């Protein structure tokens, strides 16, 4: 088991607000209580959580934390998805989560021309 941290981005569903331009509706952050509920769930699962910005926040954790929470290791060769599966998480949390996404590794550095 590799203890190098893995990271992902948790994207929440946009909030609902009255008198919001429909063209900007996806930019409305969710309610503070929703944000705190979701962040607390990830902290309780053992993740380090970054600041909430816009409609998302970063999480990082070990292979064991990712496997326990999502059932996969995002660095594993056999895992090829850009989004992590949410089916192991509570419906009370996943109803607020649009996706947990992985970022592409940089196209520079060791091993990359």
DSSP per-residue string spanning 56-96: EEEEEE-HHHHHHHHSS-TTSTT---SB---TTS-HHHHTT
pLDDT greater than 90 at residue 19: no
Question: Which residues lie below 8 Å from residue 68, measured CB to CB, with a gap of 6+?
Answer: 45, 46
Report how far residue 9's alpha carbon sits from residue 46's, in angstroms, rounded to the nearest whole number: 15
Looking at residue 107, the DSSP 8-state letter turns out to be S
Residue with tokens 């600041």: 51
Residues 68-85 have a mean pLDDT of 80
Report whether 30 contacts 39 (CB < 8 A).
no
Residues 15-32 have a mean pLDDT of 62
Model confidence pLDDT, tens digit, residues 79-106? 666 889 999 999 999 999 999 998 665 5
pLDDT of residue 42: 97
């Amino acid at each position: 088991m590799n203890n190098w941290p893995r990271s992902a981005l948790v994207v929440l569903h946009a909030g609902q607000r009255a008198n919001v331009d429909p063209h900007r509706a996806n930019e409305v952050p969710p309610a503070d209580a929703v944000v705190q509920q979701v962040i607390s769930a990830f902290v309780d699962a053992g993740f380090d959580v970054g600041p909430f910005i816009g409609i998302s926040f970063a999480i990082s954790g070990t292979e064991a934390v990712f496997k326990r929470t999502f059932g996969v290791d995002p660095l594993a060769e056999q895992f090829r998805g850009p989004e992590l599966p949410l089916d192991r998480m509570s419906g009370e949390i996943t109803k607020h989560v649009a996706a947990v996404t992985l970022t592409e590794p940089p196209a520079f550095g060791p091993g990359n021309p």
